[in-house]
């Protein structure tokens, strides 16, 4: 028998390995450029792209699930005319608006198309599958219903939400390892997954930590096949200032550079001259990834490698003991009220999971879940990044903290968490969400106050609010936050059962028969901080109703 018939080599596959500078040559003016977000958020390829096209006005559409601080570089360089996204804001040290996004969006300098995290990915899933549209639970009852790519359709099976397929022209990804042919393996969790890369019309430009001779030892981690890849470049620490979690392949992990995240957040808020100076140093002057890593320095890189160790949190916890002497501020009090409220709901419902939203809701969720488990609830934590059954680590309250990943019982992606588990009939889920604004119907606005201020966008909030069994909101109570009617509905309030603030807690009333259409508020006060009833009445955007037991 001719043994060559069973040769397991890669055959005549083209060698797609090239320099990063060559790889980005596949991008053209006018492209819809997709930058994929997994648990890594920046990439060497994005910096190279910005460097090559700086100031040339290529009129790109930037397709990016979460812009974070990286997006401000595209804006400052005059590189984008339109953005398709689920979130535009900073992510560290907390999720917050970035004025450069707001200024560009409100002025019309950059057009923006808002989607939820799940619907963003689902549109590209449809394109990757060769479908013209795909069904979704998300967006119904929100202001995003008006998006051109969404419609409700009456079918023999009921009314369903439909998303139009969307395919970017080209996609950029950062993987762990790839072979020379371009088969790319990723470390989980994956956040948006790879649908955008699979849908890209011309294909994928990839950077990876390592090029390997044989990808087959990690075949179970390959998510993008070689035929979809245009070019692959080896870029160690190519996700910096993001990190690479896990030892799933031969790629060496590294932690997030939190100092760098904070620095770019701060400098992007300064004047153009200061921002340009920073961009010149970190983006425009380093000719390639080698020079960029030299600028970072070996000592800093060593610290990032150490941060990826599973016990690295212990040193931070020892050096940053909790401050138990200072009085609690408003947000901390809101988190405490939120945690107690959430714990009560988890015990009452015996929920399988609790989803942690961003910001103060995350702290309330972590604490509330622990309190509920002490009372016998079976609830485990989940997060839209693709985490299930994880536990927080001390000294690092960031919702997507990589140090929490080793404790997870499952690492997946947002499609699984937001699109399958939470809406699925066999999982009970209570969600805890924050709110820039919340109104008398429980609707949340985290996107925009038209003509005044841009906030951040939906993130996964809309997806969760439309499918969780119930929602607990945690926020502070003020005339600007608790309003009679939000001007933009990011997440509908149909499933909101509690609103916890630093001054008190509200519960959705059980409406009496014949009360439909009544002007009586849906939420009643069930707990109040000592002496704060008058303050609540003054700040609340709707008439205060006090429950009998309060």
Task: Say what the pLDDT of residue 94 is.
Answer: 83
- Of 22-36, 364-378, 505-519, 528-542, give the lowest mean pLDDT range: 505-519
Return the axis-axis angle of helices 44-53 and 289-296, rounded to nearest 10°. Answer: 110
Q: How many domains does the chain have?
A: 2
Instruction: Tell me the pLDDT tens digit for each residue of 58-110.
Output: 999 999 999 988 899 999 999 999 999 999 999 888 889 999 999 999 999 99
Tokens 């006090």 locate to: 546
Which of 244, 275, 292 lies at the terminal end of a domain, its last residue?
292
Residue 530: how many CA atoms within 13 Å on its side-chain side? 0
Range of the domain at 504: 330-511+518-539
The answer on 413 and 273 residing in a single domain is no
Give the largest CA-CA distance in the chain.
Answer: 91
Q: In terms of C-beta density within 10 A (0-12 exposed, 13-18 middle, 19 or more buried), how is residue 534 classed?
A: exposed
What radius of gyration, in Å, describes the C-alpha atoms of the chain?
24
User: Taken in order 56, 60, 63, 66, is the CA torsion positive or negative?
Assistant: positive
Kindly state whether residue 13 falls inside one of the protein's structural domains.
no
Residue 95 CB coordination number (10 Å): 23
Q: Does residue 342 lie in a domain region?
A: yes
**What's the pLDDT score for residue 310?**
87
Cα 165 from Cα 65, distance rounded (Å) = 16
Q: Is 405 left (phi over 0), alpha (psi -120 to 50) or beta?
A: alpha
CA–CA dist 53, 106 (Å, integer): 25
Q: For the chain, give the percent of residues with pLDDT over 90.
A: 88
CA distances from 231 to 22, 303, 342, 538 (A): 8, 31, 48, 60
* Tens-place pLDDT, residues 123-161: 999 999 999 999 999 999 999 999 999 999 999 999 999
Residue 140 in any domain: the answer is no
Half-sphere exposure of 13 (CA within 13 A, CB side): 21
Q: What is the pLDDT of residues 410-457, one digit of tens each?
A: 999 999 999 999 999 999 999 999 999 999 999 999 999 999 999 999
| pLDDT for position 1 | 46
How confident is the model at residue 397, as a pLDDT?
Answer: 79
236 and 338 in a single domain? The answer is: no
Q: What is the mean pLDDT of residues 12-28?
A: 95
pLDDT at 322: 86
Same domain, 216 and 347: no
Whole-number pLDDT of residue 400: 87
Are residues 226 and 106 located together in one domain of the fold?
yes
- When pLDDT is cut at 50, 70 and 90, the band that residue 513 belongs to is low
> Is 550 part of a structural domain of the chain?
no
CB 428 within 8 A of CB 56: no
CATH of the domain at 355: 3.40.1080.10
Residue 492 lies in a domain: yes
- The yes-or-no verdict on residue 5 having pLDDT over 90 is no
- Which of the listed residues 269, 292, 315 is the one where a domain comes to its end? 292
Q: Which of 292, 321, 354 is the last residue of a domain?
A: 292
pLDDT at 520 over 80: no
Peptide bond into 241 cis (omega under 30): yes
pTM, 2 dp: 0.96
Write out pLDDT tens, residues 320-359. Answer: 888 889 999 999 999 999 999 999 999 999 999 999 998 8
Contacts of 287 (CB under 8 A, 6+ apart): none
Strand partners, 164: 133
**Cβ-Cβ contacts under 8 Å for 20 (sequence gap 6 or more):** 44, 45, 48, 207, 233, 235, 288, 289
> What whole-number distance in Å separates Cα of residue 148 and Cα of residue 165?
11
Which residues touch 517 (CB under 8 Å, ≥6 apart)? Answer: none
User: Would you state the pLDDT for residue 422?
Assistant: 98
* Torsion of the alpha carbons at 187, 192, 195 and 199, rounded to the nearest 10: -120
Separation CA 155–CA 151 (nearest Å) = 12
For residue 42, pLDDT beyond 80: no
CA dist., res. 222 & res. 433, Å (int): 34
Residue 358 to residue 457: CA distance in whole angstroms: 12
Q: pLDDT tens, 166-196?
A: 999 999 999 999 999 999 999 999 999 999 9
- Report the mean per-residue pLDDT for the chain: 95
The answer to whether residues 273 and 335 belong to one domain is no
User: Where are the alpha helices (H) located in 117-210, listed in sequence order?
Assistant: 117-128, 195-199
Task: Using the predicted structure, report yes or no on whether residue 515 has a pLDDT greater than 70.
Answer: no
Q: Looking at the structure, do residues 275 and 395 belong to the same domain, yes or no?
A: no
Has residue 9 got a pLDDT over 70?
no
What would the two tokens of residue 259 be? 């100092």
């Amino acid at each position: 028998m001719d043994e060559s018939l069973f040769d397991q080599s890669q055959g005549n596959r083209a060698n797609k390995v090239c320099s990063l500078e060559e790889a980005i040559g596949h991008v053209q003016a006018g492209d819809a450029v997709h930058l994929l977000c997994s648990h890594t958020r920046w990439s060497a390829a994005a910096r190279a792209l910005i460097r090559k096209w700086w100031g040339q006005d290529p009129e790109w559409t930037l397709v990016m699930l979460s812009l974070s601080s990286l997006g401000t570089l595209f804006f400052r360089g005059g590189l984008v005319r339109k953005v398709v996204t689920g979130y535009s804001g900073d992510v560290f040290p907390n999720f917050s608006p970035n004025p450069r996004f707001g200024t560009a969006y409100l002025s019309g300098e950059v057009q923006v198309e808002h989607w939820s995290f799940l619907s963003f990915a689902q549109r590209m899933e449809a394109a990757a599958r060769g479908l013209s549209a795909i069904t979704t639970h998300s967006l119904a009852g929100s202001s995003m219903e008006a998006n051109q790519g969404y419609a409700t359709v009456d079918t023999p099976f009921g009314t369903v939400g439909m998303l139009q397929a969307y395919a970017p022209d080209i996609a950029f990804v950062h993987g762990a390892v790839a072979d020379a042919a371009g088969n790319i393996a990723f470390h989980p969790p994956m956040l948006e997954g790879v649908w955008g890369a699979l849908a890209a019309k011309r294909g994928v430009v990839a950077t990876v930590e390592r090029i390997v001779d044989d990808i087959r030892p990690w075949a179970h981690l390959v998510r993008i096949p070689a035929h979809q890849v245009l070019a692959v470049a080896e870029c160690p620490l190519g996700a910096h200032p993001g990190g690479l979690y896990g030892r799933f392949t031969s790629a060496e992990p590294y932690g997030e550079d939190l100092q760098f995240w904070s620095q770019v957040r701060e400098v992007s808020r300064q004047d153009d001259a200061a921002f340009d100076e920073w961009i010149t140093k970190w983006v425009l002057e380093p000719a390639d990834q080698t020079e960029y890593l030299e600028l970072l320095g070996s000592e800093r890189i060593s610290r990032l490698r150490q941060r990826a160790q599973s016990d690295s949190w212990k040193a931070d916890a020892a050096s940053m003991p909790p401050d138990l002497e200072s009085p609690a501020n408003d947000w901390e009090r809101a988190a405490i009220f939120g945690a107690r409220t959430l714990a009560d709901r988890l015990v009452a419902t015996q929920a399988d999971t609790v989803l942690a939203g961003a910001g103060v809701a995350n702290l309330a969720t972590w604490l509330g879940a622990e309190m509920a488990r002490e009372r016998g609830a079976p609830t485990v934590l989940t997060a839209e990044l693709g985490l299930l059954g994880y536990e927080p680590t001390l000294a690092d309250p960031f919702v997507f903290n990589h140090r929490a990943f080793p404790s997870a019982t499952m690492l997946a992606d947002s499609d699984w968490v937001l699109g399958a588990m939470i809406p699925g009939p066999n999982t009970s889920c209570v969600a805890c969400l924050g709110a820039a604004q919340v109104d008398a119907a429980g609707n949340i606005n985290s996107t925009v106050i038209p003509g005044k201020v841009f906030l951040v966008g939906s993130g996964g909030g809309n997806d969760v609010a439309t499918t969780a069994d119930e929602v607990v909101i945690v926020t502070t109570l003020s005339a600007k936050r608790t309003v009679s009617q939000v001007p933009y509905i990011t997440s509908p309030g149909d499933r909101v059962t509690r609103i916890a603030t630093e001054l008190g807690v509200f519960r959705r009333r059980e409406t009496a028969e014949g009360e439909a259409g009544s002007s009586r508020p849906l939420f009643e006060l069930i707990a109040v901080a000592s002496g704060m009833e008058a303050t609540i009445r003054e700040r609340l955007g709707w008439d205060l109703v006090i429950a009998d037991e309060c």
